[in-house]
Chains A and B, each alone.
Chain A
Amino acid sequence: EPEVTQTPSHQVTQMGQEVILRCVPISNHLYFYWYRQILGQKVEFLVSFYNNEISEKSEIFDDQFSVERPDGSNFTLKIRSTKLEDSAMYFCASSEMGQGLYGYTFGSGTRLTVV
């Protein structure tokens, strides 16, 4: 079964450093998403991406965050200057269609720890 692949599985970074989280969505999917889950809290939407541009973003997704699809297969989330409160599990997801009835396929996540 096709999978969304995320690397690395765990990233530890110093506060103030830049991090790039990487994702390889399912090859025929056109819509891409980042979500995160802070320990003990809900899974939260960050951003959706279609046709090489952001289609929607949450209030969490401020100027410190950016997304990119640098080639035909990768989808990245960059955090420019990490804060302690950015520590969370970050999930990439993709879907063939934009509307939500058929669900999104999520990756296994990257655990980001900011120290």
Chain B
Amino acid sequence: DQQVKQNSPSLSVQEGRISILNCDYTNSMFDYFLWYKKYPAEGPTFLISISSIKDKNEDGRFTVFLNKSAKHLSLHIVPSQPGDSAVYFCALYPTNAGGTSYGKLTFGQGTILTVHP
């Protein structure tokens, strides 16, 4: 399943700097785009999402950008903190899910973010 790709397996950033996590997808059949964070021995935790009709959504230190023409999604974390060190997954929710069919999230493979003090 190559619909969703996170091409960087890892990212290392200095505390206080910007972290930029990227996600690419191969078709346009998604309505919502989400970012999850995962610590070891825990389940994924929802961070932020964006609808396909928008190109930016901001929540505190987290901003998600959607470029539909490029089929590209990114998450910016500013300023980065050591507690942000985790695996970050993009997850996409399909178009036309609803009614009696509740759509599945399609996950990327994740990027390990390490924020150094």
Binding site for B on A (CB under 8 A): 4, 31, 33, 35, 41-45, 48, 50, 55-56, 58, 91, 93, 98-109
Count contacts on B: residues with CB < 8 A to the other chain.
Answer: 30
With A44-B107, A48-B104, A50-B102 given, is the CB distance from A100 to B41 under 8 Å? no
Contact across chains for B49 and A103 when beta carbons are under 8 A apart: yes
Contact across chains for B46 and A103 when beta carbons are under 8 A apart: yes
B89 is an interface residue with CB less than 8 A from chain A = yes
Kindly state the separation between the CA atoms of A48 and B100 in the bound complex, as whole angstroms.
11
19 contacts across the A-B interface (CB closer than 8 A): A4-B43, A42-B109, A43-B91, A43-B105, A45-B104, A55-B101, A55-B102, A58-B104, A99-B93, A99-B98, A100-B49, A100-B105, A101-B34, A102-B49, A103-B34, A103-B49, A104-B46, A106-B36, A107-B43
8 A Cβ contacts from B1-56 to A: 1, 31-32, 34, 36, 41-47, 49, 51
Kindly state the separation between the CA atoms of A99 and B105 in the bound complex, as whole angstroms.
10
Contact across chains for B43 and A42 when beta carbons are under 8 A apart: no
Contact across chains for B93 and A43 when beta carbons are under 8 A apart: no
With most chain A CB atoms within 10 A of its CB, the pick from B104, B107, B110 is B104
Q: Smallest distance from the beta carbon of B58 to chain A beta carbons, Å?
A: 15
Kindly state the separation between the CA atoms of A58 and B49 in the bound complex, as whole angstroms.
23
Kindly state the separation between the CA atoms of A58 and B106 in the bound complex, as whole angstroms.
11
For the complex of A and B, list the 8 residue pairs with the smallest distance between their C-beta atoms, beginning with the closest: A103-B46, A100-B93, A106-B43, A45-B104, A98-B102, A43-B107, A48-B102, A100-B32
Q: Smallest distance from the beta carbon of A21 to chain B beta carbons, Å?
A: 13
With A4-B43, A58-B104, A108-B41 given, is the CB distance from A98 to B36 under 8 Å? no
Which chain A residues border B1 with CB–CB below 8 Å?
A: 42, 44
Contact across chains for A104 and B109 when beta carbons are under 8 A apart: no
Contact across chains for B43 and A56 when beta carbons are under 8 A apart: no
Which chain B residues border A35 with CB–CB below 8 Å?
A: 105
B103 is an interface residue with CB less than 8 A from chain A = yes
Kindly state the separation between the CA atoms of A109 and B40 in the bound complex, as whole angstroms.
11
Which chain A residues border B49 with CB–CB below 8 Å?
A: 100-103
